[in-house]
Structures are given as C-alpha cells and as structure tokens.
A and B are shown apart, each in its own frame.
Chain A
Amino acid sequence: MDELQLLRSFGKNVADPSVDALSRGRRGLVEHIGLQPAIAKPNSKKRFAFFGGTTALAAGALVATLVFTDVLGLAGWRGGADAAAASALSDAAAAAIENSDPVVGPGQYLKIDTEAVFTGGVQTAEWEHFAYLGTQDSQMYIPADDADDWVLVTEPRAAIKVFGEGFEEEAQESARAGFEEEQISRAPYGSFDNSKPRDWRLDDLPRDPQQLLNYIYRVTAGHGVSADGQAFDFISTTLRTGVVPAELRAALYLAAAGIPGVEITDEAATLNGRTGVAFGREEKDGFLHEIIIDPETGLLIGERTVQLFDSKMDLVFAGEVVGWTAVTTTVVDAAPAGGSLCGNGGEPVNGFGSGQCSDPNRPRTD
C-alpha cells in the first residue's frame, strides 16, 4: 500500500451527511437566496465591523439612526466618479426624467427584450479547454395585473464566437444543449421555474441619489471584490432588469456618479446596434464592468464586461468582451399564447415543495 492508497483508505469510510443536516443546510441556503432576489443581503457581522469605525467617530443614537436611514453613509466620503463621467451621468439622469416611461394600460404588457451573450466553457474528453460566446436571448411579458400570467420566451441558443481552433461544432453543441428550441413559460406573479414571485423590490430603494448610494453600500457591504465594485455591480444589475422606472433610473445614474473609479470608458459604445456612452469601472479581479447609456434619452442600452487579462485555461485574451446584455423595454398589447405553466410543466424543479407557482394566493413577500 503506498501513501496515497493509505490516505484514501483512511478517508473511505466517512459516512454521508445525515438527512437532518442535509435538509437544514438546504433550508438555510434557500432562505438566504429568498432574502435577496436581485439585491445582495448584507452580512450582518461584516456590516457591523464596517460601520464600527464610522459610528465611533461620533457615537450616539442619532448617528446610528442617520446611518440606518442612509442619510449618512459611505457615499461621498472618498470622492466619486471622475469629473467627465459624473457630468455625463448627471446629463443622462436629466434626460431619463424628461423622457417619461410608457404606461402599461389594462390588458397590456411591459415587454422586456433581453439579448445576452455570455462566455461558456467546455473541457473536452481529451482534456482540452475551449471557450465560446453563447447567446441567451429572452423576452419577458409582464402583465398590467401581476396576478395574470407573466410570459417568458426563451430563444434557442447558439455559439457566436469560439476561442480555439477546431471546436466550432462542439461549441454549438454545448451552447444549444437543452435550448434547441424556443420555449414559452407562463406563471402568475412571474414565478417561473417555481421560484418565488418575481419582485425586484424597487420600492425599497431611496430616490435621493446620496441616500440611494448609502443604501447600496450598506446592503452590499462585505460582498464582492471591492465595496465600490459591488456598488457599481448592484446598479448595473438593477438597471438591466429593464423594469426600473425613469425617476429611479435617474437616481441610479447619479448614484453611479458617486462611486470612485467610475469613468467614461467608451464615448461611442455600440451594443446590439444601439450606440451610447459607456461608463465603466475596472475591478481588481481583471474585469472592466460597463453600463451603456443613450445620452439623448437617458435609456439604458445595456451592460458589458471586458476581460483585461489573458486566460490561463483557454484562448480568451485581454481586451475581449466576455459578456453583455442589451435591454429594450416597450409596452405591447399581447403576449405569446401557449407554453408550460411555471416554465416547468407545473412540476417542482428539484423535487422539493410542490407546484407552488400555480397557487394564485401565494403571497408576494417572502
């Protein structure tokens, strides 16, 4: 018996986790996930440490209250976006407010058309790695009344760029697997895939830009690579839902103007045929994250991520756009018919729970 076999035999007899521990862990995860649909939940311990310094400067209940209501916070203490970016974001915010949102009348739908490209990767049977850019396009129809069916159309996928010679066929296969055909799902309250009712919790967000940015720093504290990067990511993730009303969009632009490191990274960035100004922030992990805004209308065109280093495992080199999302929001009179309930034939996704999305009385809140 060599040392490895010995070591393995030592580890061999470990039992599986108890059913109790397994379900406890799962419950914890599901609860954790449920607490944060689009918004990261703050880690209470880290948040405490985070604000420990601030409150110590002027201890007292008043300051604590001001922090908690986001009147005071991290925003503005360490500067903000560079001057040109801040000024352009402020113009975009003004444009957003001038161009009011379309109104969804009774029987109509808000249609969110999302064209997304992501980097997928495959390891072949011969241990070779390659990466590809794959599409992930969808349209979501949100009814005027949340209790009516929401409709999600998922387009067939395809690989549009392959990093690595001779892998074109495998890339297409990988991109299409499970998404060969258009799929239509419907679910009241947007509970697709048996998820909880779709709620972006936009009402929780302060409309004052300074308070909004404090709020964002507070709820994202302790997450991500850096506090500023995570705050920018929050803004980008919220915007790309396509459901953000004009006044909140304007506040988010102004909040972005308060984040150090944000600058104009492309004066004429084209995404999906539309051209706008890219505001980006370079993160320590080697990615440039950008939001692209149409300066005329203040509408978000989309977001994209640029890799700034050469990958070790595949042929993705610095400067490559490794993902983007273009979002268009319109009001339409009808949504496609047919499709499966819950996006899953009404069956629970993981074998837990039961057809929740078919229950019209399911509460919206967690």
Chain B
Amino acid sequence: MEWLRSRSAYLQAAPLSLIFLLFFVLPIAMVVVVSFFDYQAYQILIPDFVLFNYQDVFSSEVTYRTYFITFRFCLMVWAITLVLGFAIAYFLAFHIRTITMQIVLFLLCTIPFWTSIVIRMIAWIPLLGRNGLVNNALVASGFTDAPVEWLLYSEFAVVIGYVHLYTLFMIVPIFNSMMRIDRSLLEAATDAGASGWQTTWNVIVPLCKPGIAIGSIFVVAMVMGDFVTVNVLGGGQVASVGKAIAAELSYLQFPPAAANSMVLLGVVILLIMLLMRFADIRKEL
C-alpha cells in the first residue's frame, strides 16, 4: 500500500508517457536513424551511417530557396490570419452581447470545417481559374480585357488557401483569451479616459498575448509542414519544404526525405521556441 502511494504519481503519468514513447518518440527516433541510411533505386533502405543525406540538404541551393519561399508564406499567412483572427475574435467577444448570438456566430465560423480540407481547397479552382467566376466577373464588368492569370496556380492562390483554412485556428485561442479578460479592466480604462484604440492596444492586446502565441504556433506549424494546399492551388509549380519531402517520399527516397524532415523539425522547433518567448502559454492552459 505504502509502495503504491509513493509511486502513484508515476503510475498516473505512465499511460500518457507510454503513448508518447510509442507513437511519438519512437517514430521520430526511427526517422533520425533512417536519415543516416544509404539508399538506391532498387534497395530503398540500406542500413549504414552516412552523412550525405544531410550534405545534400545543406549543399543544395534549392533547399535554401524552398525554405525562403516557405518562410515567406509563413509570414504572409501569419500576418493576414492574425489581423483577421484578432478582428473577428474582437467582434465576437466585445460587440456581440448575448451568449447565444456568440455561439451562433462562432459556429458560423466553423462551417467551412464541416467539409474535408481537400474539398475546401478544390472549391477555389472554379472560382479563381482562367474561366472561373472571378475572372468572368472581372472581364464582364470591364476591369480587364483578358482573364487574370495569376489568380490560380500561383503563390497568391496558395496564400488564399492557407488563410481560408487556418484563420479559425487563430480566432479560437484569441477569442478564448478575450473572453477571460475581466470586463472591469475595460471599464477602468474608459473611466481613465482611454480611447477605444488605446484600450485595445494597451489592455486587450497584452492580455491576449497567450492566445495570439497559441494561434501563431498553430498557423506557423501547419504552413511549414503543408504539402497538399501548395500542390493543389500552386498547380504543382510552387515550391515548399513539405512538398519537397513528399516528392522524395513518392520516389522512394526515404533517407533524404528523413534528413529533410529532421531539418524541418529543427527549424519549426526553433520558431516555436521563439514564439514562446513572447507569451507564457502555461498560464493560459
């Protein structure tokens, strides 16, 4: 009995630790191992300890270019989703008075998530295509003579897709933070003579930091790892790190894909550490 009591904390933590070990640590460890393997077209995994998979990653100019493009996507999508997400969450939290209405509007935001991610992306194609709705409208209204080409199969289309898919991940944590703000603080700010803008900037934004950080982690991690959206809306022409890995996997080049994945993992971890410096997420959880 005594034995059980002294170790109960460990026992309670054991199931989760085991699951983590089995489904997270072990697979990652295997990816690390494979990233040092040799490979050939006919023999996909040759146990070995070679460094050329990493050498290929770091010596290729393409790597740096794809990372640059991916970072740029990240930055653009992060900025847009942050502004959109903050504005929508602000509206929901402070302008809608009744809880019922808040729930209704919140559900409205989630409607796009009722269909699969693939369908949500493909839906953009008939809209943005050369003979799509947007182009038809532009031509018909006389804004342009010829259809606008860069709407689809371009970086623009990819960014639109990301914003569409990921804004909600920004709204939810920010909304959550906003709902926890003590309303008397806002009243105090008003009483002290702060304008609406000052209240937002000096009271609400600082208190929303954890929500912003969590939302940012979601968005950054998803954009960094994406390879589906970039393929569908980029027409296979726009590069991203995730896509490069997916391409290597589909050609059975597992070791270089593993090496590439480890590099990506490292980069994403660094980014997240950076974001964590801006807000204490533990406090929020």
Note whether A and B form a binding pair.
no
Question: Which residues of B are at the interface with A, using a C-beta cutoff of 8 A?
Answer: none
